[in-house]
Amino acid sequence: MKPFMLFMFSILVIFFFPQMMMADDGDSLSCYPRSSLSYAMISPYEGEKLTFGNDRIHVRQKQNKVAEVPDGAILGDVNKDKDVDISDVVFLVNYILSGESATGAIDMLSADINRDSAIDISDVVGLVNMILAGIRIYLFCPDEHHPHLIDLGLPSGTMWSCCNVGADCPESSGGFYAWGETEEKDKYNWSTYIHCDGSMDTCHDLGGDIAGTKYDVAHVQMGGLWRMPSYEQLSELLENCTNEWTKVNGVYGCKFTGANGGSIFLPAAGYRWWSGFVDVGSCGYCWSSTPYSSYPFFAYSLYFSSGGAGTSDFRYQGRTVRPVIKF
């Protein structure tokens, strides 16, 4: 490593490492469910409307122009050498110190790590976190070494996994879990649900959001920064991505594509009820980390099919989980 690069990295570690550890240690995603938004509907056809809640607020799905998809890693490769390493940190720090316009000499798509539309020290912290954790972020799966972290260009900066928890490829269902449980089982009903006392009226309070806790199957099984998505993150996915009911390697599911060209495929894996499987091939269900505030036996999950999507389900049912990371 060149002396200047080593010097810059030492400064970053000395001054920013405590902040990075603080962000990584115990910082769970906070989200409080909006009780008026009991479901969401989307059409698989571009340009149709989103329908949120019982008050039927209509929001037109964004007709974003999809960017050209470059090869390899996109986020963090600020010097465009097709890799994300310390040289990108040096490039980014030099850019910030030079005071150049954020719209001029640097590619915002690569350098705005936290997606706040500004290039500053918070992006350096995020970039160093990525490098230290060995994280690479893509617009699409570059190879068969899953899971990959996919950038959909979302306003919150949330990155989505290309695969479900327990899956070895995007079209695989992975594991089926009751909400707040971290292991699969043979039967899914209220009597086997460990977070109640045998009935829907006795559900235990696990808090306002289980992301990053011992009840979060994505965090427990995958570790690191991986989390279950919150209700807000599911809503953000619906509002900011186009969607297409399609088939990948013979498996039906929904492809969500962001304005930056990034995309993920969610398989129509159905769900587990008692000892069987329901809706395999016709519907998909992915848990969020957010429970209903007014109905403790419900938690929000993403539901999708060829005709629409929604966000609520009984906690005891076995559903898939698509993990996320937010820096």
Confidence label for 125 from pLDDT (cuts 50, 70 and 90): very high
Instruction: State residue 317's pLDDT score.
Output: 97
Dist. CA 102–CA 81, nearest whole Å: 20
- Give residue-wise pLDDT tens across range 78-92: 988 888 999 999 999
Helices 121-132 and 86-98: crossing angle, nearest 10°?
Answer: 180
* The pLDDT of residue 319 is above 50: yes
Per-residue b or e along 132-160, where b marks 16 or more CB atoms closer than 10 Å to that residue's CB: eeebbbbbbbeeeeebbbbbbbbebbbbb
Is the domain spanning 1-17+71-135 CATH 1.10.3720.10? The answer is no
Average pLDDT over residues 74-81: 87
- Give residue-wise pLDDT tens across range 248-303: 999 999 999 999 889 999 999 999 999 999 999 999 999 999 999 899 999 999 99
Residues 6+ apart with CB under 8 A from 37: 52, 53, 235, 311
Instruction: State residue 208's pLDDT score.
Output: 96
Give me Rg for the CA atoms of the chain.
Answer: 20
Confidence label for 67 from pLDDT (cuts 50, 70 and 90): very low
- Give residue-wise pLDDT tens across range 7-46: 454 545 444 444 333 333 333 222 222 222 222 322 233 3
Instruction: State residue 118's pLDDT score.
Output: 87
Percentage of the chain with pLDDT > 90?
Answer: 55
On whether the CB atoms of residues 54 and 36 are closer than 8 A, the answer is yes
Instruction: State residue 104's pLDDT score.
Output: 55
Comma-separated ranges of CATH 1.10.1330.10 domains in the chain: 1-17+71-135
